[in-house]
Amino acid sequence: AHYGWIHPPTGWIGVAWWITYALAAGGFALLPDIDHDGSVAYASGGPITAVIGEGLQAVARGVYRATGGDTRRGRNGEHRGLIHSPFFAALVGFSLALGCQLTPWVGAVALAAILAPAIRSIANEMHHGNGIKIDYIARNWLGALCLAVAASATLWHFGGDGIFGWWFGAIAFIGMVTHSLGDSATNGGIPWFAPFSWKKYRLPWTFAVGSSTGKIIERWVARVCLLAGTGIVAVGIAGVL
């Protein structure tokens, strides 16, 4: 069977499906920051994602130079450049959609990889020094990766090959573009039309990265996203019970 938003799986696997893919959307929303050393996405898989991050940064710098990006004042197009653009989000989304149609292995590996930063991010946000072991495991990059692999393998085992489909690419695109919208609310903005134009655009109301106002806005955005995600999951669960 092939599943999707219109025909999701039923029973307990359907509940797990909705929860897992809600987390995956959050993971994809963190993905563009892999072009920044030390970000959750960059560090989520330890040396594995660090190598991927360095590789993507090198690609971003190369494309920036090759397409005539402004290199004055130390600009190199590495952070908030190509990897933050809707063009790159579409490329990732299309590649995943196509890959999932060819083999479920693409979806299984991609899901495990993208769940890790989502799990780590949630564990860090919920941590209050309570010493709970599962909390420590989830905040550790290897622990988060193991939990992500276990979730992906469980879905595949009980849901079958159809658990991964083209819509996984759509989730990737939506999550990454959501990140771009958030960064457009900062003073620096992002190049929405990269690599065709490196002009950065921002929303009418912006805040400085790291400012107290920015942190307050980021927390409230995170809360709204969490509530929205909870609502989507609740609707999905109600539909399969």
Could you read off the pLDDT of 10-29 as tens digits, one per residue? 676 777 777 777 888 888 98
Per-residue pLDDT tens over the stretch 30-76: 899 999 888 888 887 888 889 999 999 999 999 999 998 888 877 88
Poorest-confidence range of 83-92, 118-127, 165-174?
Answer: 118-127
**H-helix or E-strand containing 30?**
helix 11-30
Percentage of residues of the chain with pLDDT beyond 90: 24
The predicted pLDDT at position 225 comes to 53
Q: Is 39 left (phi over 0), alpha (psi -120 to 50) or beta?
A: beta
Considering only residues 239 and 165, tell me which one the structure prediction assigns the higher pLDDT.
165
DSSP 8-state code for residue 39: S
The answer to whether residue 207 scores a pLDDT higher than 70 is: no
The predicted pLDDT at position 194 comes to 95
Task: Determine the Cα angle at 109 with ends 180 and 195, to 5°.
Answer: 30
Per-residue pLDDT tens over the stretch 108-159: 999 888 888 877 777 766 654 454 555 555 567 788 888 888 888 888 887 7
Tally of residues, the chain: 241
Poorest-confidence range of 84-98, 104-118, 121-135, 174-188?
Answer: 121-135
- As a whole number of angstroms, the distance between CA 3 and CA 5 comes to 7
- As a whole number of angstroms, the distance between CA 218 and CA 200 comes to 20
